[in-house]
Structure 1
Amino acid sequence: MALSEHEQRLLDQLEQQLHADDPKFAHSMASDTRKSMSTRRLVIGSLITIAGILVLLAGIVYQNIFIGVAGFLIMGAGVYFATTKSKQVEAGQPIGRPSNAPSGGKSGFMSSLEDKWDERKRDQT
C-alpha cells in the first residue's frame, strides 16, 4: 500500500531529524543501493554453482577425488559470489547524508513528533 503525500512528507522529516540527531546510527541503518545484492551477481553466482555441481558429479562418476574437490571449490566460489554484495561505489554524494538536514536537539525532535501525533489525532476525529 502506497503512502499518501502527507505521510511521505512526515516520513522524510523523521528521516532528516534522525540524521541530524544521530548521524552515526542513521548511517548504519541507511540502505545503500550501490552496495546491495544485484540480480546480475546472483545469476552469475548461480551459474558458477551449477557448473561446480556438474564438475563435482563428474568427479564422482570418474571416481577422481581431485575433480570432485575442484567441483566442490567451484561450487563454493559460486555461492560466495552470489551472496556477497558488490563493493562498487560510484562517485557522488556522501552516503547517508541528507541535503537539507535541519539542526535541532532531541527535545525538538520529540516535540515535533508529539505535535504531529496530536495533529494526526485531530484529523481522525
Structure 2
Amino acid sequence: MPLSEHEQRLLEQLEQQLHAEDPKFASHMESASGRSLSTRHIVVGSLVAIAGILVLLTGILSQIIAVGVLGFVIMGAGVYWATTRRAGAGSPRSTGNKPASSSKGGFMANLEERWDERHHGEDR
C-alpha cells in the first residue's frame, strides 16, 4: 500500500532529522538500503548450483576430472550468484529543500510530538 502525501512528508522530515543528528548512521543506512537480496537471483543461483552439482556428479561417475572440476566451478558460481547482494535500480531519494526542524528536544521528542498530534487529530 503506498504512503499518503502526509506520511511521505513525515518520512522526509524524519530522514532530514536523522541526517542532521547522525549523518554517519544515515549515510550507512542509505548505502545499505539500495542493496538487497533478490528472489530472482536466489532462484537462478540455486538452479545454477543444482546444475553444477549434476555436472560434478557426472564427472565423478565418468571419472573425468575436468568435468568434475567444471561442475564444481558451476556450482560455486551459482552459490555466489544467489548470495551476493545487488544494488537497487532506483537512485537515492532526495530529501527535498525543506530545512530540518531545529527544536531542542531532538529526534525522539519530535517523533513523539508528531505521534501525539496525529492521534489527537484522529480523535476529533
Q: After superposition, what is the alpha-carbon deviation per residue over 1:97-121, rounded to whole angstroms, capped at 9, x for unaligned?
A: 7343634376343443232122123
**1:98 matches 2:104:** no
Structure 1 pair 88/78, CA: closer, same or farther in 2 (3 Å)?
Answer: same
Q: Which structure 1 residue ranges, 4+ long, deviate > 6 Å from structure 2?
A: 87-90
Cα distance change on mapping 1:89 and 1:121 into 2, 3 Å: closer
Deviation (angstroms), 1:96: 7.3
The 3 A distance-change label for structure 1 pair 82 and 114 is closer
Correspondence 1:116 to 2:109? no
How many angstroms apart in 2 are the aligned matches of 1:75 and 1:112?
51
Pairs within 5 Å for 1:41-56: 41-42=41-42, 45-46=45-46, 48-56=48-56
Query: How far apart, CA to CA, are the structure 2 residues paired with 1:81 and 1:109?
Result: 40
Give the CA RMSD over aligned residues.
Answer: 3.4
The aligned residue for residue 70 of structure 1 is 70
Is the contact made by 1:26 and 1:96 (CA closer than 8 Å) also made in structure 2?
no
- Tell me, in whole angstroms, the C-alpha distance in 2 between the residues paired with 1:55 and 1:10: 54
**Take 1:8 and 1:99, find their aligned partners in 2: how far apart are those partners?**
11
TM-score, normalising length: structure 2: 0.66
The answer to whether the 8 Å contact 1:46/1:82 transfers is: yes
TM-score (normalizing by structure 1): 0.66
Q: 1:102 to 1:71 in 2, by over 3 A?
A: same
Q: Is 2:24 the counterpart of 1:24?
A: yes
The answer to whether the 8 A contact 2:49-2:76 is kept is yes
**How far apart, CA to CA, are the structure 1 residues paired with 2:48 and 2:119?**
55
Q: Distance in 1 between matches of 2:87 and 2:2?
A: 31
CA distance in structure 2 between the partners assigned to 1:58 and 1:41 by the alignment: 25
Letter in 1 for 2:56: L
| Offset at residue 74 of structure 1 (A) | 1.9
- The number of residues matched between the two structures is 120
**Which blocks of at least 5 consecutive residues in structure 2 are unaligned?**
none
